[in-house]
């Protein structure tokens, strides 16, 4: 399912409300390197941000977050993954990955959230929409002004997010 405009809770809930306990992902793909400083600023503004030292399991502060963000911005965005965790264990819990290939190439952003934390069945539609807009707003803020960058909302996916573009059960804008 592809949308030309930003999705709402109503147009995306089929991916989020039936997978209780599962992770969902929102990718922003093909961000130009010129957007890196802006994206890192958006990440830095997230609540209770820590560096995910192991990319799995418990998160820990392995370095000062500010130093890590400065290091990435200063040219250390190399082939690999830079992982951050925000608001661990709360309804705003996000794992954010800056995914990079070779220097100079566009980079991708992956925002992971857990449906049971973010969209529990006990919430009314107004609160579900508010929470959904917060996550989508984060992606939109990261790609501000970059028309060639696309957003892909999907259930958990391991692999290149471009593989999802041909899938019928994702939301792309």
Q: What is the mean pLDDT of residues 6-11?
A: 93
User: For residues 142 and 44, is the Cβ–Cβ distance under 8 A?
Assistant: no
pLDDT tens, 84-138? 889 998 999 999 999 887 666 889 999 999 998 999 889 999 999 999 999 999 9
pTM: 0.86
Task: Specify the residue for token string 């807009």.
Answer: 133
Position 101 scores a pLDDT of 73
Tokens encoding 170: 């994702």
- What percent of the chain clears pLDDT 90, i.e. is strictly above it? 49
pLDDT tens, 57-81? 444 444 456 566 666 666 655 667 8
Listed by start position, the domains of the chain span: 9-172
Mean pLDDT, the chain, rounded, equals 84
**CA gyration radius for the chain?**
15
Comparing 147 with 105, which gets the higher pLDDT? 147
User: For residues 11 and 153, is the Cβ–Cβ distance under 8 A?
Assistant: no
């Amino acid at each position: 399912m592809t949308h030309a405009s930003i999705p709402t809770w109503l147009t995306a809930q089929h991916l989020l409300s039936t997978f209780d306990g599962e992770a969902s992902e929102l990718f922003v793909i093909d961000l130009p390197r010129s957007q890196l400083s802006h994206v890192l600023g958006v990440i830095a503004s997230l609540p209770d941000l820590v560096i995910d030292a192991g990319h799995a399991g418990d998160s820990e502060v392995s370095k000062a977050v500010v130093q890590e963000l400065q290091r990435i911005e200063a040219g250390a965005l190399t082939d690999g993954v830079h992982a951050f965790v925000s608001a661990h264990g709360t309804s705003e819990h996000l794992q954010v990955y800056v995914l990079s290939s070779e220097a100079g190439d566009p980079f991708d952003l992956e925002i992971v959230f857990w449906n049971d934390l973010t969209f529990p069945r006990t919430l009314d539609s107004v609160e579900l929409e508010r929470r959904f807009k917060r996550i989508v707003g984060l992606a939109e803020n990261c790609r501000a002004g970059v028309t060639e960058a696309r957003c892909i909302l999907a259930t958990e996916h391991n692999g290149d997010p471009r593989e999802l573009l041909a899938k019928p059960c994702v939301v792309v804008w």
